Amino acid sequence: MAFQFLKSTASKRKRTPPFNYAKLFLFFFGINVIKSSKELKWLSQTLSLYFHCINTFVMLVVCCCISRFKSVFSSLALVTCIITFSAWYAIHARQKECIKLQTDLKSLSRKIRINGDDRKTIRCFMRWSVFNILLICLVPATASAVLIYNTDHRSTRCNECWFSINSRLGRSIYSFLLQFSRQMVNWGLTYGIGIFFSCCCLELDAIAKKLLDEVTSRNKDSISPPDLSTSRDNTKFNSFRMMVAEELGQDCFNVEPMHGRNHDSSTNRLKNDLQTASSNDNQNLLKPFQHFYHSLNEMFGKRFSRNSRPQPIHSGANPYRKCFRTKSNLHPLQSESCFQTRRNSFENESYFLKEQMLTQNKFIYNHKARRSLYRLVVKAVYKLENTMSLPILLVVCNGFNELYRSLTHSIFHFKIEAPPHLIVLAVFYMVGATTTFLSVVLCADRLLKTCTLLRKAIMDDDPELTCVLQELPEMLQDDLELLEDKDNISLTAWGMFDVNKGFLVHILASLISFSVVLGQIKI
C-alpha cells in the first residue's frame, strides 16, 4: 500500500504537495500520517513492531557493554535509545493532529493558489534529505565493516556484545547490521520527525511568501498623491473653482467654459481631484470637497437625475436662475450654455462618485480577504507549534546527546589508541546530529522571518480613511492583533526555547564548554 501511495503521488506530482513524501519517513517507523485505511493500519503496526524489536535489541547490546566494559560511550548510547523511544511515542500520540495539520495546509494552499514553482525549495529539500539518509546510514556502517575486516585483532570477541565471532567476515557483517540499525533507529527516526517539521515549515513559508507578494504588489500599485505645485496639477481645480464661483455669485467666465473635448478633460481632472482628496490623509483638503459635493447634491440631485432629462432652456427665461446668481450683464445664450455644461459636468461627476464608492468598497473587501488569509496562516503556525513542540524538543535532546557522544569519542581517541572504525562512527554521529539541527532550525527561522515581513506588509496595507468609517472598530481590533502577533508568532520546543538561528549559537557555546571541561579530565 505504501508503494501504491508513492505511485499515485508520482502520477499527481503537479497537484500533490511535495511534503507528502515526508510522511513516508515516519511511515517506515510505524507512524501512519498518510491516510486512514485498514491495510495501511496493519502495515504501520507491523513496521512499529519491527522498530520496537530493533530498538530493544540495540538497548540490550548497549546494556551488555555497560555491565561488562563499564563504557562511558555505551551509557550515552543508552540515553539516545531512551530518547528515541520517547520521541516515537510523542509523535505517535499526535497522529490525528498531524493529519489535520496537513489538511489545513492543503486547503490554505488551494485558497492562495500555490503552484509547482512555489514549491521548488521543498522539492530540493526532499531530494537532499533522501540523499542525506542514505549517506549517513550506509557509509558509516559500510566503512566500519570494511575496517573491521581489514584489521587484525588478537581477540575474536566482538567489542560490543557478550559473545565471540571467530570469522572475520562474520564480524564485518555483524558490525554492518548493528551500525545500520543504530543509525536508522537512533538517528533516522529523529531525522524523520525533523523532515516532517521542516517540510511543514517550508509549505507555510511558500504560502506566506505568495500572500506577501500579493500584498506588496497591491501596495506598489496604489495611487500616489499628485504634486500640486506644478501648473499641470493646478489646472485640475478649475472645474471646482468655476462651480464655487457661480454658487457664490461670481463671474463663471473667469475659467474657460467646458465644451466638448474640454468638458471631458475637465471631468477627468475632477476625477483625479477626488481620487487625490480621498487618498490624502489630510482632512483639511478632504472636507471642502465633501462639503461642496453634499451641497450640490442637495440642490440638484433630484432635478438633474440621469433618468430624467431636463427641458431645453430658452433664451427668454431661465427657470433655475435662483440657484445660480450670475451677473446680469451676461448674454442669455452664454449663461444657458455655461449652465448646461455645468449641469452635465455635475451629472458625470455624481455618477463617477458612485463608481468610486463601489471601487473603494471592493478594495476594502480585498483588504479584508487578505487579512483573513493572513489570520489563517497565523493559526496554521500556532497549530504547527502545538503539534510538533514536544517531538522537536526530543529531537533536539537526541541531537545534543549525539554531539556530546561524538565529542567524547574524539577526545578519547586522541589520548588512547582505538580501532579506526570508531573514529569513522564518531565523525558520522556528529554529521548526523548537525544535519538534524540545521534542517529544523533553518526552516523554522525562514518561516518566522517570512511571517514577520507579511505582518508588516499587512499593517501597511490599509484602505482609505473615507471608506472605512463604519469598519473602524473592526480594523482597530485587527491592528491590535497584528501588534500582538509580533510576540505570539514563534516556534518553540515545548515552550522551553525558541527554534531560530540564535539557538545555533547556544548549541555551539555549550559544545565548546563541554569539550573544554572534558579535555581537562581523564576518561
Return the closest-CA partner of residue 428 out of 202, 261, 179, 153: 179
Distance of alpha carbon 303 from its chain centroid, rounded?
Answer: 55
The position carrying cell 505570539 is: 488
Interval 181-190 mean pLDDT: 90
- pLDDT score of 235: 46
Query: What is the band of 113 on the pLDDT scale with cuts at 50, 70, 90?
Result: confident
Of 9 and 19, the structure prediction assigns the larger pLDDT to: 19
- pLDDT score of 353: 41
DSSP 203: H
Which residues neighbour 246 within 8 Å (Cβ) at sequence distance 6 or greater? 252, 324, 325, 326, 338, 342
Query: What is the band of 314 on the pLDDT scale with cuts at 50, 70, 90?
Result: very low
Question: For the whole model, what pTM was predicted?
Answer: 0.71
**For residue range 18-48, what is the model confidence (pLDDT) as tens digits?**
667 788 889 999 998 887 677 788 899 999 9
- pLDDT score of 228: 41
Interval 494-521 mean pLDDT: 87
Q: How far apart are CA 512 and CA 507, in angstroms?
A: 9
pLDDT value at 255 more than 50: no
Q: 157 pairs with which residues across the strands?
A: 164
Question: What does the H/E/C string look like for 468-497?
Answer: CCCCHHHHHHHHHHHHHHHHHCCCECCCCC
446 CB neighbour count, 10 Å cutoff: 20
Q: How far apart are CA 187 and CA 169, in angstroms?
A: 26
Minimum mean pLDDT among 98-102, 415-419, 483-487, 500-504: which range?
415-419
* Average pLDDT along the chain: 73
- pLDDT score of 153: 56
Return the closest-CA partner of residue 507 out of 427, 395, 424: 395
Grid cell locating 357: 464608492
Q: How far apart are CA 345 and CA 484, in angstroms?
A: 49
pLDDT value at 471 more than 90: no
How much of the chain, in percent, has pLDDT values that exceed 70?
62
- pLDDT score of 411: 78
Q: Please return the burial class of 315, using the count of CB atoms within 10 Å of its CB with bins 0-12, 13-18 and 19+.
A: exposed
**For residue range 404-438, what is the model confidence (pLDDT) as tens digits?**
888 887 777 665 566 778 888 888 999 999 999 99
Q: Are 311 and 336 in contact (CB under 8 A)?
A: no
Of 411 and 106, the structure prediction assigns the larger pLDDT to: 106
Which residues neighbour 514 within 8 Å (Cβ) at sequence distance 6 or greater? 404, 407
Question: What does the H/E/C string look like for 233-269?
Answer: HHHHHHHHHHHHHHHCCCCHHHCCCCCCHHHHHHHHH
Of 328 and 171, the structure prediction assigns the larger pLDDT to: 171
Q: Are 389 and 495 in contact (CB under 8 A)?
A: yes
Query: What is the band of 309 on the pLDDT scale with cuts at 50, 70, 90?
Result: very low
Q: How far apart are CA 360 and CA 108, in angstroms?
A: 27
- pLDDT score of 199: 94
How much of the chain, in percent, has pLDDT values that exceed 90?
30
Which residues neighbour 298 within 8 Å (Cβ) at sequence distance 6 or greater? none
Of 248 and 91, the structure prediction assigns the larger pLDDT to: 91
Return the closest-CA partner of residue 271 out of 240, 298, 299, 245: 240
- Report which listed range, 34-38, 196-200, 289-293, is most confident: 196-200
Interval 339-368 mean pLDDT: 47
Question: What does the H/E/C string look like for 55-118?
Answer: HHHHHHHHHHHHHHHCCHHHHHHHHHHHHHHHHHHHHHCCHHHHHHHHHHHHHHHHHHCCCHHH
b/e 298-307 (16+ beta carbons within 10 angstroms → b): eebeeebeee
Question: Is the four-CA dihedral 306, 309, 315, 316 of positive or negative sign?
Answer: negative
**For residue range 116-151, what is the model confidence (pLDDT) as tens digits?**
888 888 989 998 999 999 999 999 999 988 988 887
pLDDT value at 51 more than 90: yes
Q: How far apart are CA 6 and CA 24, in angstroms?
A: 9
- pLDDT score of 483: 82
